[in-house]
Amino acid sequence: MPYSMTLTYKDEDSAIHKINVSCKLAWLSGVMILSLIFDNPIYLLLLFLSTLPIVTLAKIFSRWLSFMKFTLLLCPIIILINILFSNVGEHVVYRVPLQIPFIGYLAITLESIFFGVAMSLRLCVIMSAFTILTFTIHPDDLMLQMIKLKVPYRSVMVVSLSTRFFPTLLRDVDILMDVQRSRGVELDKEGVMRKIRNRMPILIALLSNSLERAIQIAEAMEARAFGSKEKRTAYKKIDMSKLDYVILAFMFSPLIFGVLIRLLDYGSYRYYPALQAVRMDGVEPWVILALSLLLFSLAFSSILYRGIRQFD
């Protein structure tokens, strides 16, 4: 599948796509924020698992998987960098006998490995939530919602153009690579330098197309008097029903509950100087169960929302 296709929004007849934009933004923002404040790998794994039903219900699994494959390629790099630059930890797995410039004597510790794995898991949570945001919310709807939240519309326009420009850029890369192959250029021939040399014409053509497209967009915006008035109207409006407000309040519940339990020291974990023992005693299993139910609220709400709409 071309990269441009994997990054393009596609309208699907799914329960998730029918949910109001505000509800999806509330849930996704909550997942992203909780992934940053939780350190415990169990909580991070729970956040990641909560995105899987959404991916299935939204019918975006193949495109989501392409993003996650790229994320998994970054995970070993994160772990390796953490091992190289974090030599603290009580449990030394291996000590390199040679002195490395700017680093010194490298000691690979169990704590640094586990910390790198936890940070990789955090990245997977954020990327999974980001793919859901990209593939289930139309860019125009996202722009209108941001304006509705009193975000400056000039900034919103920049973000909207950026989200549209990147898939277009990748689509140009696909087209230019096909053109070069039709001319007999072997782009995938062995040798790093040969690959770079064969791809240089693509880079030049891509830069030229991008500059020309930027000029066309600027001229179109000027022809439509963009920025002449501070108060703007919109052709499409995002209205919220009473049911949407109920679901929106429900979508904020994971974030509110997560922040409260984090203030009560749940979801924390100590990696240094020694790994903290994972204990599931007291009320913590019930806390995790309650958080799980709240995190899966978007999946439950989308199914309920679609069922109610079918009877209207």
Name 92's bridge partners: 109
Tens digits of per-residue pLDDT, 87-139?
777 888 888 777 777 666 778 888 999 999 999 999 999 999 988 988 888 88
Above 50 in pLDDT, residue 5?
A: no
The per-residue pLDDT for 119 is 94
The per-residue pLDDT for 309 is 64
Average pLDDT across the chain, whole number:
83
Q: Using the 8-state DSSP alphabet, how is residue 293 labeled? A: H
Q: Which amino acid is at 250?
A: F
The per-residue pLDDT for 120 is 95
Instruction: Output the CA torsion sign for 117, 29, 136, 297.
Output: positive
Confidence at 6, pLDDT banded by 50, 70, 90: low
The per-residue pLDDT for 203 is 84
Summary count for the chain: helices (H), strands (E): 13, 2
The per-residue pLDDT for 66 is 85
The domains of the chain are located at: 3-311
Q: Is residue 274 within 8 Å of 91, Cβ to Cβ? A: yes
Least confident among 54-58, 248-252, 273-277 = 273-277
The per-residue pLDDT for 4 is 47
Q: Provide φ and ψ at 103, rounded to 5°.
A: -115, -40
Name 94's bridge partners: 108
Tens digits of per-residue pLDDT, 147-194?
788 878 788 788 777 777 777 887 888 888 888 888 887 777 767 777
Strands (E), the chain: 92-100, 104-109
Mean pLDDT of 9-38: 89
Q: How far apart are CA 268 and CA 45, in angstroms?
A: 14
The per-residue pLDDT for 102 is 67
Confidence at 38, pLDDT banded by 50, 70, 90: very high
Confidence at 307, pLDDT banded by 50, 70, 90: low
Q: Is residue 206 within 8 Å of 43, Cβ to Cβ? A: no
Confidence at 294, pLDDT banded by 50, 70, 90: confident
Least confident among 32-41, 84-93, 263-272 = 84-93
Neighbouring C-beta atoms of residue 243, cutoff 10 Å? 16
Instruction: Output the CA torsion sign for 206, 209, 215, 216.
Output: negative
Tens digits of per-residue pLDDT, 193-244?
777 777 788 888 888 888 888 899 889 888 888 777 767 776 777 778 888 8
